[in-house]
Amino acid sequence: MAIGVHAENIDPNNENARYAWGENIGWLNLEPQSDGGQGVEVYNSVLTGYIWGENSGWIDLSPPFGGVFNDGIGNLSGFAWGENIGWIIFSPAWGGVFIDACGDFNGYAWGENTGWISFRFEGDNPFKVTTAWTSPVDNIAPVSQPVTDLQEWFNSAIDFTLSATDCGSGVSDIHYTLDGDVEQVVAGSSATLAITTDGIHTLNFFSVDQEGNTEIVNTLTIRVDTTPPDLNLTTPGDGASYFINQEIPAAFSITDSGSGIATFSAPVPTGAPIDTSTEGIHYFTVAATDVTGNSSTATHTYRVVYPGNIDPDGKGSHFAWGENIGWINFRPRIGPGVTVTDTAVSGNAWGENVGWINLSLLHGGVVNDGNGTLSGYAWGENIGWISFSCTDSDSCGTVEYGVTIAPDTGLFQGRAWGENTGWISFGSSGPNPYALETAWRSQNHPPVAVTNGPWYSVPDATLTFDGSASFDPDAGSSFDDAIVSHEWDLDGDDNWNEANGDDGVPVTPGDWSVVQKTFPTPVAAEPRLRVTDSFGLQDVSTGQFLTIALAYAEDYQNCWVTRLSRTWLRYGLVVTMKNIGNSAAGNVVATLTSVPTNRAIVSGVSNLGTIPPGGQASTACDPAAKTAEIVVDLYRRVTPAGDWRWQGEFEMEGQHYVIPNLPPLGP
């Protein structure tokens, strides 16, 4: 460095690196412009200028009969003069000051009247003095540090980057070992290592400069957890049925082998009873999130039912009436309930005024002849015997009574006789109607609606809706049952076989089993077929979609894949959409709305612009940057079910359409 190049060269980076500390005189400022001074200049051979002491005034580095000298490699010597404190020596017997290859002052000067003056301290209140002049002698090790922001836990595989800096000769290489493995040496001032496995990892690293100066080994602990918590939900069982008010303790466990559970939720704690207080479908969901943010959810669906098979639709059809004892409940909230089979009526009914009535006695009981005609006896704990048929007492012809079950509706009809209670009636349509119904049928079954759906096509297409495969399981049996009518609702307005053509036109006049309809514009609907048998039993088809659109998915290709854990992969997809219609589809937006159960949608919207008739457009994907419009996750531990579904949004001939439930592939 030539003398005089710098006007002032202290604290070149403006980082406040301009203060030394006198043990008895306080702070000394080597760049005191604000105090009206010249400041200090460091040259190859001398130091010139002035230092300002907050308690000592000006200190001259080049006084007469003195001066501070640089030997050219940073070792300082000589004397400075303080106007109020006298001489300060820069190379005392037990100290000395030198400037290193980074331009940092190091060491101590000695004042004859002030004691020690320190130029650098790395403790709790660090300070230092730095100059733009640097020593040509490099004996300082480089400094390496992580570039990647450290986290308590990482929740994905990471590329961890280290960097090193060196004031003198420059960084030669970075050395590191991960978990005690073989040491890796990377040339240059930056090194990146991949950490892909879960666990607590130990990273040791240091750097070496061109002069061979070696940094002390640094150690970091890096924690990686990419695996969501493990949920084991055993009770309630998925798809299980439990009786009303039955006490069923919940059973589940939540574990996490990585960062640990942060939060979890469940309807009740394990061991506490699940909700069986109301009839119907119930959901039991356990959710957990670990410290890194990985989450898991497990949901089981269970059904709460009344014991037996009385009042299967929950309409309140579960009462009989005793003229002298009031209401009798054949679906009580406790106990085994009442069950009707081909041979018997069993279980217990509850009388509001008489207590339990046992229908399935060890000797006796209520008998079903298989066609719904009942006979035999029930026993009331407080009212004695109840006869269900005059045949029980050979009184037919004198006193006619009996109870039957309608084979097609399951409704109880008629009267029973109680020796101490009088008549018990089963069903009334009078001013206060009541009924007793069972799910049992006299082996007569409703018909089954079968269609040729789902249906997918393009505008102006004529589609055939075929219900001729529908059947009645009791055809040809003793019931001599058959389907007597086919009815279509193609437009979802709950009107069937409309004469205006909304529900199609029969291919054979008068026979609605097969109809056809032309769809001039895009549309989405859920056509339904209703079939009725000769007993009036019905069935309606559901869940089969009609989609009239232009653009359909034609091809799926993987563009890139990233492994997030051992069983969790992320894919960027290129999906090709084709316009199979005769009109242009403008401003096409394809949205992925559903995927199989072993996948999850990360991003699913693609803007495809205009697709001409017969043309194609593909969703965007960049394999180098690993970005894509359509991104899905794959979970290898999950059994796949379901399929891909799309929503198409586009313009055709000046009209805007949104069509849901597009199939995985075009027709």
Each residue's pLDDT tens digit, 441-483: 876 678 999 999 898 888 888 999 999 999 988 776 556 788 9
Band (543; pLDDT cuts 50, 70, 90)? confident
Start-end of CATH 2.60.40.10 domains in the chain: 143-224, 230-305, 455-548
Query: Burial level of 503, CB count in 10 A (0-12/13-18/19+)?
Result: buried
Run of H or E residues at 532: strand 528-533
pLDDT tens digit sequence for 495-507:
999 999 999 999 9
Cα–Cα dist 639/594, whole Å: 16
Instruction: Please state, for a pLDDT cut of 70, what percent of the chain lies above it.
Output: 97
Cα–Cα dist 76/412, whole Å: 115
Q: Is the pLDDT of residue 5 over 50?
A: no
pLDDT, average across residues 164-186: 95
Q: Is the pLDDT of residue 343 over 70?
A: yes
**Helix/strand/coil for 495:** coil
- Residue 38 is predicted with a pLDDT of 77
Run of H or E residues at 508: strand 505-508
pLDDT, average across residues 568-597: 93
pLDDT tens digit sequence for 289-319:
999 999 999 999 999 988 889 998 888 999 9
- Residue 69 is predicted with a pLDDT of 96
Q: Is the pLDDT of residue 2 over 60?
A: no
pLDDT tens digit sequence for 364-379:
799 998 878 999 999 9
What are the structure tokens assigned to 210, written together? 């061109």
User: CA–CA distance from 550 to each of 288, 311, 377, 581, 660 (Å)?
Assistant: 43, 48, 68, 5, 12
Band (65; pLDDT cuts 50, 70, 90)? confident
Band (4; pLDDT cuts 50, 70, 90)? very low
- Asked whether the whole model's pTM tops 0.75, one would answer no
- Residue 445 is predicted with a pLDDT of 76
Band (228; pLDDT cuts 50, 70, 90)? very high
pLDDT, average across residues 414-420: 93
Cα–Cα dist 287/572, whole Å: 28
Band (599; pLDDT cuts 50, 70, 90)? very high
Which H, E and C letters describe 428-460, residue by residue? ECCCCCECEEECCCCCCCCCECCCCCCEEECCC
Cα–Cα dist 103/9, whole Å: 10
The CATH number that domain 455-548 falls under is 2.60.40.10
Q: Which residue has the tokens 């005189």?
A: 25
pLDDT tens digit sequence for 19-52:
999 999 999 999 987 544 578 999 999 999 999 9
Q: Which residues pair with 513 in a beta bridge?
A: none
Cα–Cα dist 35/49, whole Å: 13
Which CATH topology does 143-224 take? Answer: Immunoglobulin-like (2.60.40)
pLDDT, average across residues 338-363: 90
pLDDT tens digit sequence for 118-157:
999 998 999 999 999 999 999 999 999 999 999 999 999 9
Cβ pair 338, 351 in contact under 8 A: no
- Residue 417 is predicted with a pLDDT of 94
- Residue 40 is predicted with a pLDDT of 94
Which is it for strands 455-457 and 461-466: parallel, antiparallel or unpaired? unpaired
Alpha-helical (H) ranges within 268-371 are none
- Residue 661 is predicted with a pLDDT of 86
The CATH number that domain 551-662 falls under is 2.60.40
- Residue 525 is predicted with a pLDDT of 87
Instruction: Please state, for a pLDDT cut of 90, what percent of the chain lies above it.
Output: 76
Band (621; pLDDT cuts 50, 70, 90)? very high
User: CA–CA distance from 254 to each of 232, 267, 287, 601 (Å)?
Assistant: 7, 14, 9, 25
pLDDT, average across residues 184-206: 96
Q: Is the pLDDT of residue 53 over 70?
A: yes
> What is the overall mean pLDDT for the chain?
91
What are the structure tokens assigned to 656, written together? 């805007």
Which CATH topology does 230-305 take? Answer: Immunoglobulin-like (2.60.40)
